[in-house]
């Protein structure tokens, strides 16, 4: 049976909820026990970090997040990063896994944090105005993929485990966003999009695009 893993950031929330559940049961405060019990289950579900093994083809871009595809569109060249003009947006509800993973193997050539507003993550404005991280990864074969970790209406804490210059491996954990959020992924115009609007995707497992193979 596979071992269930949890994001380390979650224990700060999970342990107090479990303790409060146990204390409520001990003193027979049944309603409080039920409330804290459901909260504990919710937090355990939210902070789970399942191990998944997706495609290892270097041209395949794995989803960096669990969630639903809410946008597939073209953006202006240079708006996010030179040469990247195609965008996929993935909305992460509070019931999705919130650990983010590297979509490709490569080196982080740009990392930029931008504090921002609290706009619902499923809206288009959130991509421009909310708290967010921009991460650009080059695969060493001429391929480049960028992603934005975007905080949502409730989330105000973006975790990023890496730094500019670090090497990452496809499917490796790079961070998480707490309590409802969104991830935007950007590609070159030569990329082939492999998902459709409203499709559910799995972090580290679903192939969302295929980037152009260079010699």
Going through the chain in order, the beta strands assigned E by DSSP cover 60-62, 67-74, 86-92, 99-101, 106-114, 132-138, 144-151, 158-160, 167-168, 173-177, 181-187, 192-193, 200-201, 207-210
Give the pLDDT of residue 1. 45
- 77-106 residue pLDDT tens: 989 999 999 999 999 888 888 889 999 999
- 142-162 residue pLDDT tens: 899 999 998 866 555 788 899
Give the pLDDT of residue 95. 84
Architecture of domain 60-210: Distorted Sandwich (2.70)
Residues of the chain scoring pLDDT < 70: 1-4, 116-130, 152-156, 179-180, 213-215
pTM for the whole structure: 0.81
181 in catalytic set: yes
Give the pLDDT of residue 94. 81
Give the pLDDT of residue 124. 53
Q: Given 63, 126, 181, 188, which residue is catalytic?
A: 181
């Amino acid at each position: 049976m596979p071992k269930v893993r949890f994001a380390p950031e979650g224990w700060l929330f999970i342990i107090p909820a479990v303790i409060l559940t146990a204390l409520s049961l001990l003193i027979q405060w049944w309603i409080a026990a039920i409330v804290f019990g459901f909260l504990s289950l919710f937090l355990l579900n939210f902070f789970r970090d399942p191990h998944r093994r997706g495609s290892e083809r270097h041209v395949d871009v794995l989803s960096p997040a669990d969630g639903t595809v809410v946008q597939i569109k073209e953006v202006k060249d240079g708006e996010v990063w030179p040469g990247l003009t195609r965008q996929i947006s993935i909305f992460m509800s509070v019931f999705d896994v919130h650990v983010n993973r590297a979509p490709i193997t490569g080196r982080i050539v740009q990392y930029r944090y931008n504090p921002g507003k609290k706009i619902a993550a499923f809206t288009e404005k959130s991509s421009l105005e909310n708290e967010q991280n921009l991460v650009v990864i080059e695969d060493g074969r001429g391929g480049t993929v960028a992603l934005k970790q975007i905080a949502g209406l409730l989330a105000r804490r973006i975790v990023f485990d890496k730094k500019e210059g670090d090497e990452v491996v496809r499917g490796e954990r790079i961070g998480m966003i707490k309590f409802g959020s969104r991830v935007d992924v950007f590609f070159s115009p030569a990329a082939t999009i492999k998902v459709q609007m409203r499709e559910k995707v799995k972090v580290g497992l679903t192939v969302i695009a295929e980037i152009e193979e260079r010699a």
